Structure 1
């Protein structure tokens, strides 16, 4: 079964642009990215869009569909009625390069600011040992495909450009949480660094990042809130503070 659908696609570049109307054929089982490809093939060959795997695993085709941050390759046309106009716009938080393609270099800059895993002293790479519970705790965070939809929807940077310098965003605070929870990471100040250097305090746990995650990672509940709790405990809990000051007596 096929039908003619109405689409509004944002066209333009960093200098500005506008929504352009199209009518395009939709076939059963198609996703929004299929329609964008058909527009390129039949009506507007200069339409710019970023994509790669078309399987929801590369994170490349992030955009906003009817105002909601989504992966175009995972947004089925069957979720819209044939009479509905489907509007596709680029991610709002990042500068537009052309049409649906945005400059996401902000995210790579933030990634470089997160200190990498620091192996324990005196333990070779092949000798790492972890409890299965510790493996499972961080495994959820490793499902991230870096689509940056969580970064895009986070109102701390979406609505306040001035916060970008001081705020790493949910994706990279989640990375800090993953390493903070890693029993073999020898860097002991992850939670404090997240608070003092990467803007953890800006996050007010609205869960908007969790809501748009295509991998269904519980970013807020399982990463950001525990990271906040650890940062607060170490800074304000007198018993934790005292314990950090007392050295164990050795034989």
Structure 2
């Protein structure tokens, strides 16, 4: 097994401020960035704070920015970098730093609580739900989300404009709304909840300008923009601006 010395710049600090520190650390064949961060902890920086759990790309815990790109450290192989390259590891920029590479992602859990849950259809008991395979496949793509929040971090609406956070749910949770709105068994409309309207009026769907940056960084390969955000925008526009839909909503149905 061959090894070499790699140059790293790792952000150290807390909510009061900080900066990049230089390290030279051994790298072995087959290792990922998280391996190197662990080696730094064990040999040079025992107080380095980093969040991680599964090291298998399924928990979403080890999100960071590697050379400025939001990535999972456990899924970023050292072999993708040139051996002479200096690798920079910094915390997610869109969220407040707690310490070193650990950020406070509470914003995302707040937004999750603001999205109304699935509404079961009336008169259908557990085990009686029936869906076509096409509908199952569509929802299943969105349910692959591991909540690493890389899409939230790279979205410029959140990343570059702190003032937008109060009104904008971000791509992860707009995708959740789209999933529920597309679900053939969701009975939200029967309770008076219009998910398309709330997406536009309460969760900031209009802020999204479909740059696809969220799709580009998704480690699960979910087509967030094409399969969730654009269809949700189309549904919201049809609901709000299509003259026939508008007229139909104004005509009272005659009761039998």
Q: Which residue of 1 aligns with 2:36?
A: 35
Q: Distance in 1 between matches of 2:137 and 2:248?
A: 28
Which TM-score applies when normalising by structure 2?
0.96
2:202 alignment counterpart? 197
1:185 paired to 2:183: no
Which residue number in structure 1 is paired with residue 223 of structure 2?
218
Q: Secondary structure in 1 aligned to 2:23? A: strand
Q: Distance in 1 between matches of 2:155 and 2:24?
A: 32
Which residue of the partner structure matches residue 127 of structure 2? Answer: 126
SS of 1:193 mapped into structure 2: helix
Distance, in Å, in 1 between the alignment partners of 2:126 and 2:116 is 18
Displacement of 1:237 in angstroms is 0.5
Q: Secondary structure at the match of 1:126?
A: coil
Deviation digits for residues 146-178 of structure 1 (CA, Å, limit 9, x no counterpart): 000000000001000000000000000000000
Matches within 5 A, 1:1-251: 1-188=2-189, 189-246=194-251
Superposed displacement of residue 120, structure 1: 1.0
Give the superposition deviation at 1:248: 5.4
RMSD: 1.1
Structure 1 Cα separation of the partners of residues 182 and 7 of structure 2:
48
Separation in 2 of the partners of 1:40 and 1:80?
21
Q: TM-score, normalised by structure 1?
A: 0.98
Cα deviations by residue, 1:45-92 (Å, 9 ceiling, x for unpaired)? 000000000000000000000000000000000001110000000000
After TM superposition, which residue ranges in structure 1, 4 or more long, deviate above 2 angstroms?
241-251
> How far 1:249 moved relative to its partner?
5.5
**Structure 1, gaps ≥5 residues long:** none
Measure the CA separation in 2 of the matches of 1:247 and 1:230.
22
Cα separation, 1, equivalents of 2:248 and 2:147 = 38
Gaps of 5+ in 2: none
**CA distance in structure 1 between the partners assigned to 2:83 and 2:65 by the alignment:** 19
